[in-house]
Amino acid sequence: DAKTTQPPSMDCAEGRAANLPCNHSTISGNEYVYWYRQIHSQGPQYIIHGLKNNETNEMASLIITEDRKSSTLILPHATLRDTAVYYCIVRVERDEETSGSRLTFGEGTQLTVNP
Amino acid sequence: NAGVTQTPKFRILKIGQSMTLQCTQDMNHNYMYWYRQDPGMGLKLIYYSVGAGITDKGEVPNGYNVSRSTTEDFPLRLELAAPSQTSVYFCASSYWTGNQPQHFGDGTRLSIL
C-alpha cells in the first residue's frame, strides 16, 4: 500500500470548514484513499473513501487531485465533537489474496476545533 | 446495534501472566482484525482472519495467538505477558466485498507491570 503524509496537527474554528490535506504521491492506479478518525479513547471511525472522483456523504467531502497524488478531507461545518485524530489511508479496494483488506495507519493529523 | 464488542475494557496483568481479549461482532462480517495502538502512534495489525477457521499474521504477531472458531468471535490470547505488550487493543470487522469499511470496537486498555 502507498505511504501517506499528513501534517501532525491543525486547528479550526467551530462552524468553519476544516480542510485536512494528505499526500500520497506513490499511489497506484487501483488504490483507494480512505479516511478514518479516532476520537480520544475510542475506536477508529470510518468517514469516507474514493478512487478518482470527489465524494461526499453526510459526514464529509473528499477531494482527490486529478493526478491522485494528494487529497483533502473537508468537514464543512466543524463542531467541537469533530476534535480527533484523522487518518488518511491508501489501500487496494479488493484484495484478491487471502491477506484481507488490511489498513495501514500512520500517525494522522490531530484536528482541534476551537470554540 | 451492538456492532463490535470487546471485553474487558481495562485490565492490569503481571509479567508472565496470560489472558484472552474477547471480541465479538453481530454484523455477520467475514473479516476480523486485531490491532494494537501504543501511545501517540497509529494502529498496527497483529492478526487477522478472513473467515471461520482461517487466521494469518499481521505486522506485529509475536507474543500473541488467535483463533476463529465461529464467524462472530475472534479472541486474542497473550500467553506470557511482557511490559512491551502494554497498549490499547482494538478489534475490527468488515465485509470482504464492495465499499464496506472496517468497524472498530472501543478497545481494551491493557497494562503489564
Q: pLDDT digits over B91-111, tens only? A: 999 987 555 788 999 999 999
Phi first, then psi, for residue B82 (nearest 5°) are: -130, 155
DSSP of B54-67: EEEE-S--TTEEE-
Mean pLDDT calculated for residue range B51-74: 94
What's the gap in Å between the CA of B80 and the closest CA on chain A? 26
Q: Nearest Cβ partner of B106 from A43, A94, A103? A: A43
Three cell numbers written together for B43: 494502529
Q: Which of A34, A41, A46, A91 would you mutate first to test chain B, the one with the most B CBs within 10 A? A: A46
Contacts for B20-24: CB closer than 8 Å, 24+ residues apart: B20/B75, B20/B76, B20/B77, B20/B78, B21/B75, B21/B76, B21/B77, B21/B78, B21/B89, B21/B91, B21/B108, B21/B110, B22/B73, B22/B75, B23/B73, B23/B74, B23/B75, B23/B76, B23/B91, B23/B105, B24/B72, B24/B73, B24/B74
Whether the predicted pLDDT of A97 surpasses 60: no
Beta-carbon contacts below 8 Å between A and B: 60
Mean pLDDT calculated for residue range B22-46: 92
A102·B48 Cβ contact <8 A: yes
Whether the predicted pLDDT of B1 surpasses 80: no
Sign of CA dihedral A62, A64, A68, A71: negative
Which residues from B are below 8 Å from A101, CB to CB? 31, 94, 96, 102
d(CA B41, CA A105) in angstroms, rounded, equals: 9
